[in-house]
Every structure is written in structure tokens, then in C-alpha cells.
Amino acid sequence: MKLNVDVGLETQLAQILEQVEAVLHDSTRFPDRLAQVSTHHLMDAGGKRLRPLLALLAAQFGPEGVNQQVVEAAVAVELIHLATLYHDDVMDRAPLRRGAPAAHEVWGNHVAILTGDLLFARSALLMSGLGPAAVRIQAETFERLVLGQLHETVGLDDDSDPVFFYLGVLADKTASLTSAATRLGAMFANAPVAVQNALASFGEALGVAFQLADDVLDFMGADRATAGGQACANSGKTAGTDLRDGVATMPVLLLQQRVAGGTATSSEINLVQRLGGDLNDDAVVAGLINDIRQSDVLTQTLDLARAWSDQAVGALADLPSSPQKDALIQLARAVVNRSA
């Protein structure tokens, strides 16, 4: 996601992100060789560093700007994100992450889970040095992350609206952390509480938009992935993983909603019926992905992502115009446009 931002701001952010990267590696040094190698497995595979970037941009709205506390908070949030990837890959049985074999494919489930736990622990150590307010934000965010994963795993009850339920899962699993990143960045830059709240709201809406766009990417990247399950070129995800695991993402939920509401076409009814069948066959999954791409549910999902992106931009309405605000607005658009 390349942003066309003010040259001075871009140079500043690039320099600070190098500092973030250095602290990220320094904060995850272990005397144990396996712990050292496994914790750096995904870290060294790359990543967008979206959450640290959000913290750094949010800090620009406070009088102190980016300081050491902001950098450490940015690193702590990224460590939480990395930890969740280790755990998610075990639960999803994903073979690849960021173009590399998932940790559980290299060392097994137990080591992968414990590696995630180690990263959570190091994040907590960093947060503890930042004071009680930071620890509380981390604890509240971690609670939302776990509840989001729990709700996705168990599924909804009979009285819940599937689309509303799923948006709640996205808010907890993804948006809670992007919201925490923007709040922490603003807080440690000593921004006014109203500004902190606005930026936290921006991060929350941005996280939902990001994940909805990711739902689209999983299907749109399918033509660049083999039926055997290679990672999508755009997202690094494995096409069809959610289908195989019985996780209904937004495009599937919209199809099911049409069937339940009696507005589905015969082909959509047939598609939903096939989604309830045996999804262990790669050819079957590839066929389903292709048929979903022929429906307009991907466009509808992208429209929802744009609506959440608009909501993120709206949260910034009362903030003064600046290159930093322009960068956040561009970022809100970019997370959706990567799927278009």
C-alpha cells in the first residue's frame, strides 16, 4: 500500500519505522536458540507493519509527536499482532504465511502456540514499562481479540443476525488492535482526549474495512493460486482456507442471506447448497471460488468495505487539515483499493 504523502512526512516515517524494526528485534532476543529462531520466523518474513505505522501517524496529532514511548507502544502492538498469526495458523491449519511455511508446519502445533505466547509475553513486558494505562489498553484489546476468535470458532446462536455477528467478530479480531495502535500513539504523544478518541474510532473502522477487503482478496487472488492451495499473490493468504475450515466470510454470508430472504437466484441457491457439502476436495473448492467470483457478492462486500472506510475518514472530520491527516485518509482508501 504505497501512499502519496508529504515528502517530509514520508522521510520521517521511514526513519522511525527503521527504529521500530530495530526495537522489534531487540525486544525479542532469547538465549534459547529455538525461541530465538521461532519468534523471528514471521517477523523476518516481512509484513506491512500497518499497526506501527498507525501508531506513528496518530502520534503526529499530539504536541510531543513520536517519542520513545510511542515507538515502544508501536512495537508492543505489532508483537500482539504477530502472536495472533502464530495462533491463527494453528487453528486454521494454514500451510503458508507471508510466503513462508507457517510455524506449525516447521516445528509443530505446540511450538507454534508457545511461540505466540512468548510474543504476547514480550509485548506485556514492553507495555508494563509504559504504565498502567497502557497495560489496561493492552488487556482490554487482548480480551476482545480472544472473544472475537472464540465467537468465530463457536459460531452464532439461532437468534443472531449472521452479517451483524460477523461484523462484530471482525471488530474484535482485527479492529480492536488497529484501534489500540492509534489510541496508544496519540496518548503517548499527549494528544487531547477528544483527539485520542477520534483516532481510536478511525482505527476501529479502518480495521473492519481492512478485513472486509481481505475477504474479497481471498477470492480475487484465487486465479493466482493453484487448487493445491498456494498463497494468493495479493494477500499472502491461502485461497479457500476459510471455506475448508467452515468459516463463512462476508461474501458467503451475503449469499446465505439471499437464500434465507428468498431473493437468491437458482444458481446462488445451488452454490449455497454446495458450500454445505464436502470441502476437502481441492477441485471442489476451486470450483466454488470460481462461482463466487461470478456472483456480485464480492462487489457487495467491497461496497461494505468502502462504507467502513468512509466511516474511518469521517472520524477524522474535526481534526485540523495536515499532511498527517491526509496520510490517514489515503490509508483508509488504500486498504479498500487493494481489492478493487
Closest CA to 20 of 65, 64, 55, 60: 55
The proportion of the chain whose per-residue pLDDT surpasses 90, expressed as a percent, equals: 66
| Cβ 30 vs Cβ 36: under 8 Å | yes
Report residue 223's pLDDT band, with 50, 70 and 90 as the boundaries: very low
User: pLDDT tens across 301-312, in order?
Assistant: 999 999 999 999
CA–CA separation, 3 vs 26, rounded Å? 28
The answer to which of 92-96, 137-141, 202-206 has the lowest mean pLDDT is 92-96
User: pLDDT tens across 63-89, in order?
Assistant: 999 999 999 999 999 999 999 998 888
Please give the model's pTM, rounded to 2 decimal places: 0.90
A 10 A CB-CB count for 247 gives 16
CA–CA separation, 84 vs 59, rounded Å? 25
| Cβ 156 vs Cβ 128: under 8 Å | no
Q: Quick one: fold of 7-337?
A: Farnesyl Diphosphate Synthase (1.10.600)
Report residue 244's pLDDT band, with 50, 70 and 90 as the boundaries: confident
Do β-strands 100-101 and 96-97 pair in parallel, antiparallel, or remain unpaired? antiparallel
User: pLDDT tens across 106-155, in order?
Assistant: 888 899 899 999 999 999 999 999 999 999 999 999 999 999 999 988 88
Residue 260 makes CB contacts below 8 A (sequence gap 6+) with none
| Cβ 28 vs Cβ 119: under 8 Å | yes
- pLDDT on residue 226: 34
